[in-house]
């Protein structure tokens, strides 16, 4: 076993519907948020948010409430390397 980096975070973003992407669980095709919003409720269930970090990067608005980067040592002990709260 080796040391691990664990990232905990919470917050929210208002996505740019033309830039956020959703991937199909059926055939892995990619559509925009604008296209996804036009689907029926059942059709939306066949898709998942393709890239959470890209959704944050291209967001119109948002708030990062908590971000904690933790180093977990081989013995299970933890050290917070970076902590942010807003």
pLDDT tens digits for 21-59? 999 999 999 999 999 999 999 999 999 999 999 999 999
Structure token pair of residue 26: 């059926």
Its sign, for the CA torsion 49, 55, 59, 61, is: positive
Average confidence (pLDDT) over 60-83:
85
Q: What's the predicted TM-score (pTM) here? A: 0.74
Instruction: Give the lowest-confidence range in 9-18, 19-28, 32-41, 71-80.
Output: 71-80
**Radius of gyration in angstroms for the set of CA atoms belonging to the chain, rounded to a whole number:** 17
Q: Does the structure show a pLDDT above 90 at 20?
A: yes
User: Which of 68, 41, 65, 51 has the alpha carbon at shortest distance from 16?
Assistant: 51
């Amino acid at each position: 076993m080796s040391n691990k980096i664990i990232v905990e975070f919470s917050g929210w973003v208002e996505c740019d519907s033309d830039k956020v992407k959703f991937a199909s669980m059926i055939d892995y095709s990619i559509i925009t948020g604008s296209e996804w919003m036009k689907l029926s409720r059942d059709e939306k269930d066949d898709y998942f948010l393709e890239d959470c970090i890209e959704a944050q990067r291209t967001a119109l608005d948002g708030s990062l409430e908590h971000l904690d980067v933790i180093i977990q040592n081989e013995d299970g002990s933890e050290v917070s390397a970076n902590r942010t709260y807003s």
